[in-house]
Structure 1
């Protein structure tokens, strides 16, 4: 019998997909899993009951297609975001990855390009590949920062059709200044470049960190994406969304699959938004644990980045994979992001954070 690899090779697969591996972090059974930036706090019981009621009410009509334009959900998302946004400015899909894919389907494609500044979210080049869009790997400074001047210069040099700005950046965790967003937008004026600010972790930003939502008025080519996977603790619900000029949502309608957002997904998201204050109650605790990780890693002689997200990117002072394995051997799973000498850890509950810090201290003592 042929192996799976041989069977795959026998298929008429696209040449640019041959030899690639699917995206995905290790899914291992461990004592403490802090590798995928989930909100590790369980969904509060009042929200579980609210979701259950809404989904139960929806179940009787599952023989019918869902509201194709999910108007009630878009209205609720606009209300949550504020900034004088209306349902016409909002769009949603099955996770922010599908949102980004739809943006590439509408504005990217063959003979078009998307620029992002690496290291950044590793799905960007894969989404570009899937839509036939050329991915351009822009550069950051040695400390992984990105200045307005450098970003604008690279946009001018490469003339991309789309720019992805991850803020707070994954895996490094630090938010961009709004001057970077403004400079990129202006630099793309001649090319009519779409600028996407991926704010998946925005709710975890440090006090005083502004959102690119404040820049939307008067900028019809600017899109700000968000997710309910992180701060809302709804990674399993798969709900991502964006805010933009209404013309952008109209453009996405041209490429979205019909009825792409199920009735169950819409019901779950609506229940969560009705209880957003309860769900977001864990955010401050997560930020406290994140800052605790930063402080303790410094005390242990490591070099963490200041974080506006629910994770910490840190220089581990040696072989990153060896430390990753050493922590795993103690039942703590973090993320090896493939950057030499660096690892990333999600800020979990107080107990999970303590387990991680104790594992790091134990590993360092033995190294």
Structure 2
């Protein structure tokens, strides 16, 4: 039976046969990185305490593709001291770059939260003492602490629980709030002000996604309609997205004059910080919705083909919604024929759900219906 990861960590640190570094290879997609943060926080609390008993401070290093590493590019040193973007062929990591470094300065642990065979092969070749991670590729022998990840009928966050238990003995994963103190992004509010924000409470609209089946059709009606509704209620609205979503953002902003468009103008940590300071977020199933939920903000995620029980954003004030699967009225506007219901969620419904979540976040409750309301 393999030793508990915490025990193996302390034994290796006592022997001094490895540097007090823990490398974690994060997934490629932003939402998947956010799903891994509760695991990271739970692991850090346990291992940092174990190392401290020996008078040692662990250095945590993030490694991954551009997004997986960029999330931590401005992080506090106590959280992620170094962020390494893998280099190599197009779309492929370069394990030899890591192997050269690890053979010279071997870390105490490498945790692989992706399905990269090359990365764990490099860790095995460097004889890293603790090697934990996804072993669905039939390479369990390369790991000291493997776990199954793919195709499980549970939420992605929960899939890390078996690995956490092997590494620490803990049986539950705790939420890790995504704050500017954690991930950085201190330039977010100055960027907002330069874009025209006057200090009013603002709502982030996370409209963009590469998956057409996830979008909120008809987009040129729904997003400007929601933005205008919120502005009429006294809020500012902010469009956030990646650089390749700028053309659509410009069209949506033009249809609701006064909308602040920051699409493609933020780093990932700045985007997370914009979410953290927001009144809330309405978005499709995209990475920014996960950032908002992870920041603890009221978040309404409009689900289309995505399955809530597997990938809905996780946070204390986050709700995933979809519309009915059938038409409900004469003259109903056509939606996305490939959609799964998001096209039948109206801007008014999205706004109302957001406000209900905001009340809950403030510890308030929705008032009782008036006596004149119909029964």
- Which of structures 1 and 2 has the larger relative contact order (alpha carbons within 8 angstroms, sep 6+)? 1
Per the TM superposition, whether the score is higher than 0.5 is: no
TM-score under structure 1 length normalisation: 0.33
Higher-Rg structure is 2
Q: TM-score, normalised by structure 2?
A: 0.32
